[in-house]
Amino acid sequence: MTNRSCSIVLVACIFFVHSVSLTPSAFALSQRDFILLKKIQRDTFEYFLVHTDPETGLARDSSRPGAPVSIAATGFALASFAIASSHGWLSYREAYQKIEQTFNTLEHKTPKQKGFFYHFLDPKTAKRIWGSEVSSIDTALLIAGALLASSYFPGTSLPQRAQHLYEQTDWDWMRNNTLLFSHGWKPESGFLPFYWDMYSEHLILQALALGSRTHPVPRAVWSEWERVHDAYNGKEIVYAYTGSLFTYQFSHAFIDFRHLNDGGINYFDNSQKATIANREFCAAHADEYESYRNRVWGLSACLGPNGYKAYGAKPGNAYHDGTVALHAAIGSIVFTPEESISAIRTLYEYDGGRLYGPLGFKNAFNADRDWWTDDYLGVDQGMTFLMLENFLNDGAIWNRFMNLPQIKHWIERTALSE
């Protein structure tokens, strides 16, 4: 028996008693697939154990040597530690101490501007590096992770501390006197000349900003960004410019959009259609690219033969060169369980397991260029972990996050309830 087979058998022994029918989509998940998905989730969590700095509690942007801290990856790490404690992968005390350590760093060591954090930090000192910007979306993902993580520890100081991080964030300042949020700000040059002006991963930023009572933003910011429609293979989609799947996933890891209606748009359904379009786009180009054959798909921002690129499908910019993001199909599992699980099975066994490592699926590959990375990216690991939690545990994250008073306030202000 191979090591890979032994590990699956071990997972089976641990998780065989779990009911496999309670998924957000009510998809009938086989015992074999449940075991595989649970193994992937557990292995993916290891990223945050290995690549979170033991002194500052901040998570690295990637597994590459010398990688900086990513403030967004740190948000996913906070959420992952709390979720792991609910599964017994960490003890309650271990998870609490890790989250507390991170909060200590965020409160006392990391530089901020109006409550917003710099995108990249030094792992040891928690100071700004690479001349990075104070980032609106990365701060939003950090705050979302902090709020979610603290909800697992009621009656402790963590919920109050997470609330303080949220309340000190001056969302209104990030508008720069417009009705759109800037991508960020630098002390040397001021606000970046880029704004969140169309559909993207910024819905989590919108939700937190509109839910704020300490630094409220005008209701009009919700309607100011454009819902640009286009169709692919008969599917009408409010699309992101890049067509990258992560834009349809990141906010959805926290927010349950299934019963929210934005003027006739349901963003859960929208992400489902965008995922199917992404898969069909890959299939349509399978004669051109070996990577897309055997029902392999998944175009999203990831590492590639020529560096990190925002790969994507139509509708959108649709830049692609045969590079498949391994997190893309998993991140859409709540939208397209059958298609995602089929891709996961194929990718797990691909070329003798070459795409899978001790921390789960590696970031990407390109068979046409004979390019294979051994690297992992923190935000992709986090999104994979959270989406699997929602799928395997009946929307566990959604149930918590949608009960936060901040999120309820956002929904009330924007009249999104069906």
pLDDT at position 2? 42
Residue spans per domain, the chain: 1-50+227-418, 53-212
Residue with tokens 């930090």: 121
Distance, CA of 135 to CA of 117 (rounded, Å): 6
CATH architecture of 1-50+227-418: Alpha/alpha barrel (1.50)
Q: What are phi and psi of 26, to 5 degrees?
A: 60, 30
324 DSSP assignment = E
Is 49 in a helix, a strand, or coil?
helix
pLDDT at position 23? 52
pLDDT at position 5? 41
pLDDT at position 4? 45
Element (H, E) at 80: helix 71-87
CA atoms within 13 A on the CB side of 290: 9
Domain 53-212: homologous superfamily in CATH: Glycoside hydrolase 144 (GH144) (1.50.10.140)
pLDDT at position 9? 41
Domains 1-50+227-418 and 53-212 share a fold: yes
pLDDT at position 237? 98
* Cα-to-chain-centroid distance, residue 265: 22
Residue with tokens 């899978």: 356
Distance, CA of 225 to CA of 220 (rounded, Å): 9
Listed in order, strand segments (DSSP E) in 263-418 are: 301-302, 309-310, 324-325, 356-357, 360-361, 364-366, 371-372
Distance, CA of 159 to CA of 149 (rounded, Å): 8
**First-to-last C-alpha distance (Å) of the chain:** 52
pLDDT at position 24? 55
Mean pLDDT by 10 residues, the chain (418 residues): 43 40 65 97 98 97 98 98 98 98 98 98 97 98 98 98 98 98 98 98 98 97 98 97 98 98 97 98 98 96 98 97 98 98 97 97 98 98 98 97 98 90
